[in-house]
Amino acid sequence: MTKQTPNAMPQQPTVEATTPSTGRAKLATADLITIGVFTALYFVMVCVATLASTLFTGGFGSIFLPAIAALISGCVWMLMVARTGKFGGITVMGVVIGLFLFVSGHFMLSFVASIVFPVIADLIARIGHYKNKALLLVSYVVFSYGLTGPILPLWFMKDAYVASLEARGKDAAYIDGVFANINTGTFFLSMGAILVCAVIGGWFGQRMMRKHFIKAGIA
Amino acid sequence: MNSVCGRIRNLDPRTKLVLLILANLMLFFHVAVSTQAVMVVLFLLPLVAAGRWRMALKFAVVYAVLTALGFLDPEFLGMPWLHVVSALAVGANMMLPCFITGAYAFSTTSPSAFICAMRRIHMPEAVVIPCVVVIRFFPTVAQDYRQIRAAMALRGIASGGWGMLRHPAQSLEYILIPLLMNATNVAQDLSVAALTKGLGRAGAHTSRTRIHMTPIDWLTIVVCTVPLALDIAGVI
Amino acid sequence: MNNDDPTIRSQHVEFTYDGAVEPAVHDTSLAVEPGECVVLCGASGCGKTTYTRIINALVPSFFHGAFSGRQYTCGLDTAGISIDQLTPLVGSVFQNPKTQYFNANTTDELAFPAENMGYTPEEINRRIGEVCERFGIAHLMDRSIFRLSGGQKQRIAMAAAVVLSPKLVVLDEPTSNLDAAAIADMRQMIEELKAQGMTVVIAEHRLAWLNGVADRYVVFDGGRIVQDYAAEEFLSLGAGCIAAMGLRALDLEPYRAKIRLLDQPVESSDAVVRTRGLRIGYRGREAFARPVPDMAFHAGQIVGVMGGNGCGKSTLVRTLTGLIEPLAGAVELHGKPAKPHDLTRAGFMVMQDVNYQLFSDGVRDELLIGLDDTNPQIVDQANKVLASLDLAPFAERHPMSLSGGQKQRVAIASALMSGKEFIVLDEPTSGLDRFHMEQVGRLLRQLADQGKAIAVVTHDEELAAGWCDRIINLERSL
């Protein structure tokens, strides 16, 4: 990068869309637009994850949706944070995703999850001024739990589910049989998968940042 | 989508929001099968009114099939494996009202009405602006993806579905990097265009799209709330 | 502001982007009177785009760097105001039609500036109606912008820029991606603005379309204004003088005449790629189909594929490179009918947006994708290809950190490396100045001399007339 190059076309200098990041500044309109673009990409990743998750695990497949999304969205998230680098960016991304999930008919709790986890993720990343690699990775892992909203009813709506089954004349033994499949074991399996996948996805994202975006002078 | 006649037969976005919340409340308070059936019918009516009768019909059929499956008695039929299907059907059926109201909100609301409604309910600009951008940028991602796949085919990189599955991380990199580079450029161009058009301006932003609650909106809300309220109160 | 005050008054403005060494604009002073139509011209990197950003206050409020001097736009000192204060006074149109609209719907896009100003719905709709009538774009209203052509998108961008009836309209290379018909529409719109008494500033490479509209030509070089001509003075300059300044032609008629001469079918054998009874198009929702006359692409020849937007140029070259299947008929490779798969293997396309086809983190690595990079012979060959395209000094750089022209050459290098024999370039000169356009032309010739069959899809009359051996006009042969 430091090489003097006989460049035929003058290099368009890399333009920082925002003021140099201190982690303190307020989000400007340009930051909000950047967040919007990357949120759209994140949303695409969620759609891909939904598709993959349904293909691989069938009916109850969506329990691995957040994990798969976490695995493939690391680059998108890391670049978004590098491009904004201000408090609020991660939160806004989460809120907008939650809003679209809610409006498209997902369970209301998903909205809560996609606010709470991103806010925590934002606070964690802020400690490291949005630069500290380890904290960013932790932040990404926490953020990834924001997508658990759509699948939470599988466990937390158990009472309602049991009631529905009873209303349809199913006996207790039958209901216990059903919950052999949907027990706390699968809950921890799903949550554990998110942790592992988010670490791998975040690490992959940081690797891509170094390999491409920092080298190309974009982040 | 948001033509004049659409405005007449379409509910206010805020009403759609209420319907969504009602559908979610049905999940919290496990409602009786009869209440659920009534609510599903009520939720399907606005879809029909908006001219989406094909979609309404599909939902109606799915609901009927799932309900029937939920009432199956596998022991009686001598097919124990049906238990799983039946339980799944009951679960899916519980989610269906959310999906119906969601599909209605999503397919009948123009972006401008959605934005206008968000501003009316005093959503902060920090949420409104990214939402506009998502609506604007999301559809172009598919085009970008097709371009990148064509470019990969020309280079003989991971062409065909199998090629992608053989080196998943590599394929992800080859697809994501051009996508993200392009996204960065688009973000800058959009910012420049939006700033010169006054998006960052302090003060109220208005909308050319007029949304207002009509008597029909209020009627819809009341009619849809009553069965749920009665059910929760234990009357049904 | 007084009516006699200049709309634009720059006093010794100078700007250096953050991270850049040299200022993009040096000590520049200029005054533009109300109602004037001024063209800013000069080679790429001469500072004209940066100067437009200084005028509409994107510098220094969005593009950060060191700014000095005083800039008054419509009477306001741009250093002391927020960019929003200029919204009702200055309309801006940018280069890329695909990335400057903010809404998915055309009417929403026109409403957007007025909504941001907080106007009432009645007022917003009145203004939209007015602009539609003035520009004759009522038929484009209430449509998805994604489905408009580049020219239609640019008309919407123009209309959105003037919906607030600004005093000044600033355009930054608005025609770089447009065909001749769309450029004629742009000219009409500019004439309309002038008739309204608006001040118009256009930074442009392509100059011919502005004859008779522009009142003044300001020539930039190396970040400074080097000449300031009245229109009559500028238009009377000889073609050689214009070329010497690195500017595009003022009169395209000689080029068009040459193109008509080149538009001749040839009869010969041993073509690399040839079509027989081909019918191209898409099925499904965006169905489109048309027959194309039989055509042939020979080794060592550059064939220009021309014709207005929507006549199927891109569909044709996508079919020729096997990216889509023909609806009927056949494409032959060296005289034998070829499957799309074979065509994709033998052919290559440099896309208009070359960013989509660079995947690696280094220029040399880009050439070695899918090849054995431990084999010294292959690495040696890659280095030779890089040297032949003047890319050797950039071998270790990230492709995305290069200029547009360099990226194009990297894509071509990757095609040469994998032994492609049929190379298609889609609009390789959009947005390029004369020097870089000629550089592309020389590159095409170099590739042809290496025995490649070259097809170039272009609207650029100067490129087509100067460098193509043959022209296929798809519009004429419809």
Which architecture does CATH list for C8-252?
3-Layer(aba) Sandwich (3.40)
Among A15-19, B111-115, C158-162, which range has the highest average pLDDT? C158-162
Name the residue ranges covered by the structural domains of chain A.
29-213
Distances (CA, A) of C27 to C24, C55, C409: 10, 14, 35
Q: Establish if B156 touches chain C: CB-CB under 8 angstroms.
A: yes
Average pLDDT score, chain C: 91
Supply the pLDDT for residue A180.
62
Rounded Cα distance between C478 and C267, Å, is: 20
Whole-number Å distance between alpha carbons of C349 and C319: 11
CA distance A50 to B135: 19
pLDDT of residue C304: 95
Contacts 24+ apart (CB under 8 A), C314-319: C314/C426, C314/C457, C315/C280, C315/C281, C315/C282, C315/C288, C316/C280, C316/C292, C316/C474, C317/C349, C317/C424, C317/C426, C317/C455, C317/C457, C318/B150, C318/C349, C319/C278, C319/C280
Number of Cβ within 10 Å of residue C462's Cβ equals: 21
Q: Is B183 on the interface with C (CB under 8 A)?
A: no
CB contact under 8 A, B134 and A96: yes
Contact B181 C87 (CB under 8 A): no
- What is the average pLDDT score of chain B? 86
Give the single-character DSSP code of A213: I
C355 contacts in chain B (CB < 8 Å): 178, 181-182, 185
CATH of C255-473, one of 3.20.20.20, 3.30.70.1400, 3.40.50.300, 3.30.1330.20: 3.40.50.300
Distance CA A131, CA A119 (A): 17
* Least confident window among A11-25, C127-141, C297-311, C373-387: A11-25
Is residue A156 scored above 80 in pLDDT? no
Mean pLDDT value across residues B161-188: 87
Task: Output the pLDDT for position C448.
Answer: 94
- Put simply, the answer to whether C119 touches B174 (Cβ < 8 Å) is no
Residues of C in contact with A11 (CB under 8 A): 20, 401, 403
CB C132 within 8 A of CB C141: yes
Confidence of residue C100 (pLDDT cuts 50, 70, 90): very high
Domain ranges of chain B: 1-110+210-236, 122-208
Cβ separation B201–C99 shorter than 8 A: no
pTM of the model: 0.89
Q: Average of pLDDT values for B168-197?
A: 93
User: What pLDDT does B157 receive?
Assistant: 84
| Residues written for chain B | 236
Query: Could you tell me where in chain C the CATH 3.40.50.300 domains are found?
Result: 8-252, 255-473
Q: How many CB atoms lie within 10 A of CB C225?
A: 22
Buried (b) or exposed (e) across C147-173, using 16+ Cβ within 10 A?
ebbbbbbbbbbbbbbbbbebbbbbbbb
Which pLDDT band holds residue A179 (cuts at 50, 70, 90)? low
Residue C213: how many other CB atoms lie within 10 Å:
18
The mean per-residue pLDDT over the stretch A113-122 comes to 94
Q: How far is A179 from chain B (nearest CA, A)?
A: 10
- C-chain CB neighbours of B181 within 8 Å are 355, 400
- Residue B93: closest C-alpha in chain A: A164
CA-nearest residue of chain C to A13?
C20
Q: What is the pLDDT of residue B220?
A: 93
Angle, alpha carbons C335-C336-C337 (nearest 5°): 125
Following DSSP, what letter does each residue of B155-216 receive, concatenated? Answer: HTSS-HHHHHHHSHHHHHHHHHHHHHHHHHHHHHHHHHHHHHTTTT-SS----SS-----HH
User: How many Å apart are CA B40 and CA B65, to the nearest integer?
Assistant: 13
Burial of C69 (0-12, 13-18, 19+ CB in 10 A): middle
Q: Contact B151/C357, CB-based, under 8 Å?
A: yes
Q: Tell me how far CA of residue C60 lies from CA of B193, C17, C55, C155, in angstroms.
A: 15, 9, 10, 28
Bridge partners for C192 per DSSP: none
- Name which of B27, B70, B125 is nearest A160 (Cβ-Cβ): B27
Contacts with A136 (C-beta within 8 Å, 6 or more apart), sequence order: A78, A81, A125, A128, A130, A202, A206
Query: What residue type is assigned to position C288 of the chain?
Result: F
Tokens for B116, please give them.
């206008």
Q: Which residues of chain B are within 8 Å of residue C286 when distances are taken between CB atoms?
A: none
Instruction: Return the residue of A nearest to C398 by Cα.
Output: A216
* Residues of chain B found within 8 Å of residue A88, distances taken between Cβ atoms: 126
